[in-house]
A and B are shown apart, each in its own frame.
Chain A
Amino acid sequence: MREKIISVHNLVKKFGSFTANDNLNFEVFEGEIFGFLGANGAGKTTAIRILSGLSKPTSGEVSVAGFDAYRQTEQIKKNIGYMCQKFSLYEDLTVKENIVLYGGIYGMSKSLIRERLTELLEKLRFQEYENRIIADLPLGLRQKLAFSVAILHEPKIVFLDEPTGGVDPITRRQFWEMIYETAERGITVFVTTHYMDEAEYCDRISIMNEGRIVALDTPSKLKKQYNAATIEEVFIKIARPVN
């Protein structure tokens, strides 16, 4: 039986009288690639902030990597990786400086950081860019690097918020191969995206609408259920944007 990395039970998050998350229930297992979809304003960002220890639920049970989302947010933060859409790396520092910095923040030893740095540079074929300033690198490379930095400390789970926004089709696919490889290593990947074809790369996906989860299953089962050829069709059938 695979370990539950995320366990969410009746999660409610309110801001004043507005309910951003309305009774969410789901689980994510070790090594899964879990796609978290929904229209803008559906409540995805709110839920992710709670799961990454950045805010607390109003009610319900939430545990991430075995830690409670109310009382153990600091441990959650230590055991996850996080990559937001853009700007996770310091633009005026070099590749190496960013890695060393984040390694330090994650509490990794100097030797471990050096080891991972060499590994990373080799894998991404970045060796000549070790001392280049981030601002000089194109978007695709930056995204790949940001992802690598987010999992530098081998966390149990990594949250990716629209990681492939705007990159070219080849880099997008390379990025997803990195995601696959990460999942194979046992790191759970929790990803949101607006590219509907990327939803198909996930093991399971959930679709949020107006604060609720309206679909949760494997991509192929959802397509069958809604008689759709693509996830985009499924999405258009069940998700309406909030005003």
Chain B
Amino acid sequence: MQKVIESIGISKSFGATKALNDISFSVNESEVFGFIGPDGAGKTTLFRLITTLMLPNEGELKVFGMDCITHYKELRKNIGYMPGRFSLYQDLSVEENLKFYATVFGTTIEENYELISDIYSHIEPYKKRLAGNLSGGMKQKLALSCALIHKPKLLVLDEPTTGVDAVSRSEFWDMLGKLRKHNITIIVSTPYMDEAMRCDKVALIQSGKILAIDAPQKIRDGFNSKLFAVRSAEKYRLINALRNYQGILTAYPFGDSVHVTFLNDKLDNSVNDYLVNAGISDVIIEECEAGIEDRFLELMEKGDGNQVSGIRK
């Protein structure tokens, strides 16, 4: 089976800044492949290379077996692209936007309607409304419909869920999941770690480098130590106290608990006494399973110290 995307040693710099550093990965047909990482990690730059909107400085990048530099014309006909900001026409209606993109790609709304029907049905009641007057979640759905309307072989979604509330985000991923059965390959970028679990494969990316690349469950399971969740009502004092405790390696707040790893990689029971002495009561310590974010934090810590602060020299 031919790889839909094959990247070997890709690097891209803007002046003195290296946005992408030796990126290698491949994406198979019908996969939902996620690029997870914070702002500035290089996700948008990478997607612009894949969609032939920019040229790499080093390395080889092939989409559908074609080189992204020389075969850009052919590639641009077969990709559905949804860039970072909302980029549909604010002063055209929902319907007019969809019709425009259908026509530009030489097709009609009716021809591929069944592909977008799940998604479009949410916004169809508003089809005469100007796109600029839609809510964030609705705009995302419209942008997705427009990217899909010509039944592309590859769908490229750059941060489609950023700034959108949790409910709409969840719905959006439900819709992506349903697209699998149409044999469309999807690459998505997102800063939200929890969305990683919804992908077939994930690349964790930070400061232009890939920290890990695998099925999300495998990445999560790659977490190297025993993880413990410590709970108490006094969150702030708990964190400070834990940080100052000699036997603890890392301590990160995670919602209502603090995820902790120990130097000896096993629960140090004297931590209880220490905490009580520090005046923190009702402490509950339990072993817990690592999530993908724990693994990301672990990988970030391992990496170059500068990566965390990521200052441009």
Contacts and interface: CB of A to CB of B under 8 A. Distances in A.
Interface of A: 38-41, 129, 136-141, 162, 165-171, 173, 176-177, 180-181, 183-184, 194-201, 219-220, 230-232, 235-236, 239-243
Nearest to A231: B255
B216 to A, nearest CB: 15
Interface string B160-173: 00111111101000
A92 B200 CA distance: 42
A139 B38 contact: yes
Contacts, number: 115
A66 B137 CA distance: 37
B253 interface: yes
A241 B135 contact: yes
A197 to B, nearest CB: 4
A42 B255 CA distance: 24
Given A177-B239, A201-B235, A138 B165 contact: no
A181 B166 contact: no
B191 A235 contact: no
B64 interface: no
The interface size bin for chain B is 35 or more
Contacts of A173: 252-253
A83 B135 CA distance: 23
Given A41-B135, A129-B311, 6 more contacts: A137-B312, A139-B38, A162-B163, A170-B300, A181-B236, A195-B192
The residue among B164, B296, B309 with the most chain A CB atoms within 10 A of its own CB is B309
B293 A169 contact: yes
Given A40-B136, A140-B310, A176-B253, A169 B166 contact: no
A196 B166 CA distance: 8
Contacts of B163: 40, 162, 165, 194
Given A140-B309, A169-B300, A219 B256 contact: yes
A243 B138 contact: yes
A236 B166 contact: yes
B193 interface: yes
B170 A40 contact: no
A138 B312 contact: yes
Interface in B146-201: 162-168, 170, 191-194
Contacts of B105: none
B126 interface: yes
Contacts of A40: 135-137, 163-165, 168
B284 interface: no
Question: What 6 A-B pairs have minimum CB-CB distances, sorted nearest first?
Answer: A168-B38, A166-B39, A200-B255, A180-B236, A39-B165, A197-B255
A170 B308 contact: yes
Contacts of B38: 139-140, 166-169, 171
Contacts of B310: 138, 140, 168
Given A166-B162, A168-B37, A173-B252, A241 B168 contact: yes
Interface string B244-259: 0000000011111000
